């Protein structure tokens, strides 16, 4: 499925300045808490009965999922089970056909201002980094803050350098993406998303295109981000990361949310046959 985005979409999707959101009451609900550290956290992402169709193919089937602020959710499932479609619906790279999606109290609907507000809160990192090849590493990161947030150039560059430090590659600032390893490129992509100061980060198989020796450096950055309090949804087959970092694992199959639980539940006592079969194939 297409992960290719126009430059405008890439900026938009990882966009923006932080407007305070008041409408959280509706989204505050009774989500089950999967980790003691999340007790008292508000609901950050609420999806209720979400359906998505591509023509007459149903890619998402009645998906309901509530995610707490600061929660780390790993989504698992076979190819074609709707994992990417689900997270792409959360910032409307795909439009859902039925059900509700509420991000930090803002309902995702036809209202373009709601969409803009949500895209200010949600950063996304893809399997295929999607960096701008003609821009330096530094410019890849400063572009969004300058264009979308109208941040002065020097300030944007200082922010970019700070983020490059955070992802461990400040020395790569002046190179072009093609001069970097895959792991380095993906860390630039993470820094670029963080430059927009999102409240939520969505990762769609961020290490699947990487050589094995580069996977850890990206997972380490993601782990640091998780520990910093970011709310994250991560589609990944990296079971070590899932076990160590996730508060909750969610298993999709054929567009449906089949089972969810703590890592311990999944690794010791999965309930559904489909979950057991999937885990037996990847563990």
Q: Are 46 and 24 in contact (CB under 8 A)?
A: no
Binding to Mg ion by CB under 5 A, coded x per residue (else -) over 82-121, reads: --x-------------------------------------
- Return the structure tokens found at 163: 């983020």
Binding mask 61-80 for ligand ATP (x = CB under 6 A): ----------------x-xx
| Rounded CA separation 171/276 (Å) | 45
| Size of site (CB under 6 A) for ligand ATP | 12
Residue closer to ligand ATP, measured from CB, 84 or 136: 84
Q: Indicate which of Mg ion, ligand ATP, none lies near residue 274 (CB less than 5 to 8 Å, by partner kind).
A: none
Round to whole Å and give the CA distance between 237 and 274. Answer: 16
Is residue 232 a contact partner of residue 72, using CB atoms and an 8 Å limit? yes
**R_g of the chain computed on alpha carbons:** 18
Q: Distance between CA 123 and CA 103 in Å, rounded?
A: 13
Q: What are phi and psi of 76, to 5 degrees?
A: -115, 160
Q: Tokens 């969610």 — which residue?
A: 250
Nearest CB to ligand ATP, comparing residues 45 and 195? 45
Q: Of the candidates 220, 229, 222, which has an alpha carbon nearest to the alpha carbon of residue 199? A: 229
Partner that binds at residue 59, options Mg ion, ligand ATP, none, CB closer than 5 to 8 Å by kind: ligand ATP
Spatial distance between the Cα atoms of 194 and 156, rounded to a whole number of angstroms: 12
Q: Which of 46, 50, 59, 225 binds ligand ATP (CB under 6 A)?
A: 59
| Smallest separation (angstroms) from ligand ATP to the CB of 244 | 21
Gap between the Cα atoms of 252 and 47, Å rounded = 14
Q: How far is the CB of 96 from Mg ion (least distance, A)?
A: 16
- Single out the segment in contact with ligand ATP by CB under 6 A; choices: 19-27, 63-71, 83-91, 240-248: 83-91
The least CB distance from residue 79 to ligand ATP, in Å, is: 3
| Between 59 and 141, CB nearer to Mg ion | 59
Binding site for Mg ion (CB under 5 A): 84
Give the footprint of ligand ATP on this chain (CB under 6 A): 1, 54, 57, 59, 77, 79-85
């Amino acid at each position: 499925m297409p992960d290719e985005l126009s430059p405008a979409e890439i900026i938009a999707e990882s966009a923006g300045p932080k407007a305070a959101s008041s409408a959280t009451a509706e989204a505050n609900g009774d989500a089950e808490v999967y980790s003691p550290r999340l007790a008292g956290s508000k609901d950050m992402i609420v999806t209720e009965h979400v359906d998505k169709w591509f023509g007459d193919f149903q890619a998402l089937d009645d998906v309901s999922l509530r995610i707490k602020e600061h929660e780390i959710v790993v989504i698992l499932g076979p190819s074609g089970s709707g994992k990417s479609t689900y997270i792409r619906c959360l910032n409307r790279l795909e439009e859902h056909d039925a059900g509700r999606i509420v991000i930090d109290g803002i309902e995702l609907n036809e209202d373009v201002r709601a969409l803009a507000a949500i895209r200010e809160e949600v950063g996304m990192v893809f399997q295929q980094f999607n960096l701008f090849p003609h821009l330096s590493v530094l410019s890849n990161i400063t572009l969004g803050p300058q264009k979308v947030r109208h941040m002065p150039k020097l300030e944007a560059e200082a922010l970019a350098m700070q983020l490059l430090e955070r992802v461990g590659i400040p020395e790569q600032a002046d190179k072009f993406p093609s001069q970097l390893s895959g792991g380095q490129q993906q860390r630039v992509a993470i820094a670029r998303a963080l430059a927009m100061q999102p409240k939520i980060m969505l990762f769609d198989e961020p290490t699947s295109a990487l050589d094995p020796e580069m996977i850890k450096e990206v997972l380490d950055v993601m782990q640091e981000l998780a520990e910093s309090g970011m709310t994250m949804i991560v589609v990944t087959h990296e079971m070590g990361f899932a076990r160590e970092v996730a508060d909750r694992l969610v298993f999709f199959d054929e567009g449906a949310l089949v089972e969810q639980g703590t890592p311990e539940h999944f690794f010791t006592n999965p309930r559904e046959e489909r979950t057991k079969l999937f885990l037996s194939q990847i563990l």
